[in-house]
Amino acid sequence: MPARVPAGPAALRLRGRTFDAAHPAVMAIVNRTPDSFWSGNRHVDLDSALRALDEAVALGADLVDVGGVRAGQEGEVVSAAEEVERVVPFLVRARDEHPDLVLSLDTWRAEVARVSAAEAGLDLVNDTWQGADPDLVHVAAEIGAGYVVSHTGGLPPRTDPVGVTYPPEPLGVVHDALRVLREGAERAVAAGVPADRVLVDPTLDFGKTTAHSLTLLRHTEAVVGLGFPVLQALSRKDFVGETLDLPTDDRLEGTLAATAVAAWLGATVFRAHDVRATRRVVDMVASIRGERPPTVSIRGVPT
């Protein structure tokens, strides 16, 4: 009886590289902020950020996603000019020191993406707030970058969810996410972003309760079914912490369990604080799926 393996994802192509079921991508996170929700990824100092980048590349990162503003409403207000000052020097150095690395910018502001692209070049624009700035997707198209379509329940940037519902429960959040992601991906393609550079991200935690995030994670295969490569940003998030009643520092195992499930169900890119552990998990799942051969295969083989 053949095993039932979920359908493979659409391929993602960035900077001459192809990511798919056989070659899942790990997106390392470098936050140029003093108030990132996890203290292990606060790199106010440029040298600290560059050391984190070097380590991530050495541990198997395919992409790096740099952000200059904390996602949640806690923390300081950051102007567009300050965001540029935080991310551009890092991107310039990253491009110089790792010319083949895929560089991604985590922002919702078109002006920040435009300046960053002019100074350092960008391979991916990670629009984390569901097109809050409608010009951002056009900037991605103009500079030839990929684009991440997110689902945040229509909340404005840096808004924490309160009293969020997606009727009818329990699958209302799935239907809403599929609709928003489909429409956002179609909008990106219409703007001129090639389909194989459009990522869709169900964006767990953002505009969602923990129950919503768990439901969407279980339905990753439906998101894959939209026909675009899927990004899952799971790392140390609150839905993991609330599920297991754990603080941020103790959420690695829960994150990796969620990562394995999302990888089995066909997600392509995994945004992660813990690069080495994530790399090993997604490669192992790719091999279990039958997409990736073992690196070494000598056990029981005649010598």
pLDDT band at 20 (very low <50, low <70, confident <90, very high): very high
Q: Kindly state whether residue 294 falls inside one of the protein's structural domains.
A: no
Domain of residue 241 covers 19-288
Residue 130 pLDDT: 94
Structure confidence at residue 1 as a pLDDT band (50, 70, 90): low
In a domain, 117, yes or no: yes
pLDDT at 6: 92
- Flag whether 143 is in a domain: yes
DSSP bridge partners of 29: 65
Tens digit of each residue's pLDDT (9 = 90 or more) over 134-149 = 999 999 999 999 999 9
User: Tokens for 101?
Assistant: 């690395």
pTM equals 0.95
Cα–Cα distances in angstroms (integers) from residue 180 to residues 9, 92, 216, 226, 238, in the given order = 19, 33, 13, 11, 22
Kindly state whether residue 8 falls inside one of the protein's structural domains: no
CB-based contact 104:124 (threshold 8 Å): yes
What pLDDT is recorded for position 42?
A: 74
pLDDT at 76 over 90: no
List the CATH number of the domain containing 126. 3.20.20.20
Determine, yes or no, domain membership for 149. Answer: yes
Whether residue 296 lies inside any domain: the answer is no
34 confidence band (pLDDT: 50, 70, 90):
confident
State which amino acid sits at residue 261.
V
Spatial separation of the C-alpha atoms in residues 53 and 46, rounded to whole Å: 10
For 200-253, the pLDDT digits (tens) are 999 999 999 999 999 999 999 999 999 999 999 999 999 999 999 999 999 999
Residue 5 included in any domain: no
Residue 149 main-chain phi, psi, to 5 deg: -95, 125
In a domain, 1, yes or no: no
Return the HEC string of the chain.
Answer: CCCCCCCCCCCEEECCEEEECCECEEEEEEECCCCCCCHHHCCCCHHHHHHHHHHHHHCCCCEEEEECCCCCCCCCCCCHHHHHHHHHHHHHHHHHHCCCCEEEEEECCHHHHHHHHHHHCCCEEEECCCCCCCCHHHHHHHHCCEEEEECCCCCCCCCCCCCCCCCCCCCHHHHHHHHHHHHHHHHHHHHCCCHHHEEEECCCCCCCCHHHHHHHHHCHHHHHCCCCCEEEECCCCHHHHHHHCCCHHHCHHHHHHHHHHHHHCCCCEEEECCHHHHHHHHHHHHHHCCCCCCCCCCCCCCC
- pLDDT band for position 67 (50/70/90)? very high
Residue 72: pLDDT over 90: no
Structural domain count, the chain: 1
